[in-house]
């Protein structure tokens, strides 16, 4: 099987959640039971309702910190407006300087990634620490990454784990994956396969494809749990359906060798083909080996199946394999 992914994951789902929460607060509406209303408000902005957008901008210009934060997050993500990092930075800085945690988290992330500014890890860490201490899960997760990599702070894997833990307990899937990774390898914490399995499971259930892959590998190897090929393959499949090429490669190997499934070289070819087309070079030798074992007609059928799979599952989902 292909080894575990060694990446640090950052969630993007939080952007929409922060925008909706920010709009709910800034307009003085109760949080409970009002999600539909604010989804409608965002939809208006997305469909070019200039009056709604200008109303928000007017509130922001008058110093409303929640509006400033929401606008900054919207412009950063291109959520309801044309993506504009300069505009995002303007509003986020105003809100961050007024101690708005969501704005501080977003501003820190922009400095860490060089979005609209020169990449500056020290400045990123400055804002992430402020937001993390306010309990913002996204900032806690990103601060954990900063400590793991020594970006803007002195590298400290123990501190990284502490921040991952805080974000993971708030349901942050990327932090849950990173915490599982830390327990799996004993990085900043005592190695513990059972804890690694627990956190990978939590992240995988939220759809994190890297966690799904690594969870599958733990079941394949029997680490932290009884070895179970069926469960391993089910998690590989979930990740593969999100276009994760390492998971696709593992499915190809399983079908090639008849591991946990009936041996099927056409299925193996299809998965190796998909992984290779996704840019995963380690899949190419496997694809060539299986191709040599099939007839021209069989290869054509396997390629047809790969085309049908792409039509059904659409475009490629972002993934990463380097920590």
Say which residue, 59 or 284, is predicted with more confidence: 284
Question: Rg of the Cα trace of the chain?
Answer: 22
Asked whether the beta carbons of 123 and 145 are under 8 A apart, the reply is no
Closest CA to 200 of 164, 156, 151: 164
Task: Report helix, strand or coil for 27.
Answer: coil
Q: Percent of the chain beyond pLDDT 70? A: 82
What's the CATH class of domain 173-235? mainly alpha
| CATH code, 1-155 | 1.25.40.10
Q: Which of 220, 219, 199, 218 is nearest to 208 (CA)?
A: 199
| pLDDT tens profile 44-54 | 666 666 677 88
pLDDT tens, position by position, 109-144: 999 999 999 999 999 999 999 999 999 999 999 999
Give tens-digit pLDDT for 213-267.
Answer: 999 999 999 999 999 999 999 999 999 999 999 999 999 999 999 999 999 999 9
Supply the pTM of this predicted model.
0.83
Sequence ranges of the chain with CATH classification 1.25.40.10: 1-155, 173-235
What tokens were used for 255? 């079908």
Show the tokens assigned to 144.
């954990």
């Amino acid at each position: 099987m292909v080894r575990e992914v060694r990446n640090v994951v950052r969630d993007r789902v939080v952007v929409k959640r922060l925008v909706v929460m920010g709009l709910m607060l800034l307009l003085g509406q109760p949080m409970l039971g009002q999600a539909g209303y604010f989804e409608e408000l965002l939809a208006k902005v997305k469909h070019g309702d200039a009056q709604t957008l200008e109303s928000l901008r007017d509130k922001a210009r008058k110093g409303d910190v929640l509006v400033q934060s929401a606008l900054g997050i919207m412009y950063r993500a291109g959520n309801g407006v044309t993506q504009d990092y300069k505009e995002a930075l303007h509003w986020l800085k105003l809100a961050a300087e007024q101690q708005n945690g969501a704005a501080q988290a977003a501003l820190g992330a922009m400095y860490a990634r060089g979005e609209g500014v020169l990449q500056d890890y020290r400045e990123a860490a400055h804002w992430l620490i402020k937001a993390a201490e306010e309990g913002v899960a996204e900032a806690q997760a990103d601060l954990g990454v900063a400590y793991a990599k020594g970006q803007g702070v002195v590298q400290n894997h123990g501190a990284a784990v502490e921040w991952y833990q805080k974000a993971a307990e708030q349901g942050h899937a990327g932090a849950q994956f990173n915490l599982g990774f830390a327990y799996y390898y004993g990085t900043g914490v005592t190695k513990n396969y059972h804890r690694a399995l627990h956190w990978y499971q939590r992240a995988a259930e939220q759809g994190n494809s890297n966690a799904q892959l690594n969870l599958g590998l733990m079941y394949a190897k029997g680490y932290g749990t009884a070895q179970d090929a069926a469960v391993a393959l089910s998690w590989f499949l979930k990740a593969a359906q999100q276009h994760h090429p390492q998971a696709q490669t593992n499915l190809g190997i399983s079908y090639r060798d008849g591991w946990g499934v009936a041996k099927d070289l056409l299925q193996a070819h299809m998965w190796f083909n998909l992984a290779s087309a996704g840019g995963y070079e380690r899949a190419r030798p496997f694809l060539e080996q299986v191709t040599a074992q099939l007839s021209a007609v069989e290869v054509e059928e396997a390629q047809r199946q790969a085309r049908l799979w792409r039509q059904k599952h659409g475009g490629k989902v972002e993934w990463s394999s380097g920590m």
